[in-house]
Amino acid sequence: MRLSQVFRQKECVFSIEVFPPKKNGATPESLYPTLEKLAGLSPDYISVTYGAGGGKAGLSTVQIAKHLKQELGVEPLAHLTGINSTREQVAETVQALQDAGVENVLTLRGDICPDAPRSKDFFHASDLATFVKSKGDFYLAGACYPEGHVESENLRQDVENLKYKLDAGVEHLVTQLFFDNARYYRFMNLVRKAGIQAPVQAGVMPIVSARQVQRTVALSSASLPPRFTKMISRYDGDEAALFDAGIDYAIEQLRDLIEGGADGVHLYAMNNPEVARRVYEGIRDLLPEAKA
């Protein structure tokens, strides 16, 4: 099923993101128990990230997306990145997705990796979207940044650049994680004023461990509102308390977004089904049923 149908049926779409296992030679199959638990939360779709480096990086994504679609009955959104990929590599992955019956693809430029050569084929996400669209009848999604992409001069310019993705065939957008909903609402105001009417899902990551604080928060460049930094400081050294507080913060953030009219919410659960379950339980009463 194409995700355009989901957005027509739901006032607020709920999705979860997973990534192929990376540690100690883990295989895609090792993620299957987690996928089964996430499927039990009835997400409208589950997105599957794409590994860095191009080439074989997409094979795990395809396998996991295929398992979601064919074994668990959950619609997958397969990520594709172009920054380290050639046209031939992307074409191979796209064909594998078609063979697996996957209809929905999130096209991304990808993060710059100093240790991997830049692609000469895909300088922008819009270039990748155009190429994927030429290879098959896919539904395309894209990324957006509520506080502006780090390489953009300012937020307004970044919003204007979103039009290139939409012109290339992207039909809905998913935001980078953020912790301050005021930034999201400002971004959405600029998006709609720019004439962009595509659905935008708000991406939220529960921060439940000191490691996430040190890595994810530091690397995301997201603004940290006082309430968030106070939470981190208060529970520094108390992992159990931080876990609970991080869940509560994400639930409050998501409830505000849903009640504020977000087209959808996207949960960056870091392959942790317990985090996903607890967050889902905290927002499920606000998630709408499909329209008749």
**So what's the pLDDT on residue 56?**
60
Task: Identify the pLDDT of residue 54.
Answer: 47
Distance of CA 87 to the CA centre of its chain: 23
CA dist list (Å): 188 to 158, 160, 173, 174, 262: 12, 12, 11, 12, 9
Which letter, b or e, does each residue of 141-179 get, where b requires 16 or more Cβ atoms within 10 Å of its Cβ?
bbbbbbbbbeeeeebeebbebbebbbebbbbbbbbbbbb
Q: What is the pLDDT of residue 213?
A: 84
Nearest to 189 by CA among 163, 159, 167: 159
Two tokens at 221?
Answer: 């460049």
- Catalytic positions are 17
Tokens at 33, concatenated: 């128990």
CATH number, span 11-286: 3.20.20.220
Q: Which helix (H) or strand (E) holds 105?
A: strand 104-108
Question: For 184, how many CA atoms within 13 A lie in the half-sphere containing its CB?
Answer: 27
Return all residues near 127 (Cβ < 8 A) that are at least 6 apart: 82, 121, 168
What are the angstrom distances between the C-alpha of 71 and each of 18, 39, 47, 169?
A: 16, 11, 16, 29
CA dist., res. 129 & res. 235, Å (int):
43
Inter-CA distances, 141 with 21, 98, 108, 223, 269, Å? 23, 16, 9, 25, 19
Chain centre to alpha carbon of residue 11: 19
| 41's tokens | 């939360």
- In the chain, the amino acid numbered 282 is G
Q: Residue 238 has which token pair?
A: 């108390």
pLDDT tens, N- to C-terminus, the chain (292 residues): 999 999 999 999 999 999 999 877 789 999 999 999 999 999 999 999 996 544 466 789 999 999 999 999 999 999 999 888 899 999 999 999 999 999 999 999 987 666 666 778 898 999 999 999 999 999 999 999 999 988 888 999 999 999 999 999 999 999 999 999 999 999 999 999 999 999 999 999 999 998 898 788 777 789 999 999 999 999 999 999 999 999 999 999 999 999 999 999 999 999 999 999 999 999 999 998 876 5
SS3 readout for 42-56: CCCEEEECCCCCCCC
Structure tokens at 245: 């507080």
Is the CB of residue 176 less than 8 Å from the CB of residue 143? yes
Q: Are 263 and 13 spatial neighbours (Cβ–Cβ below 8 Å)?
A: yes
The answer to whether the CB of 232 falls within 8 A of the CB of 239 is no
Nearest to 59 by CA among 33, 21, 87: 21
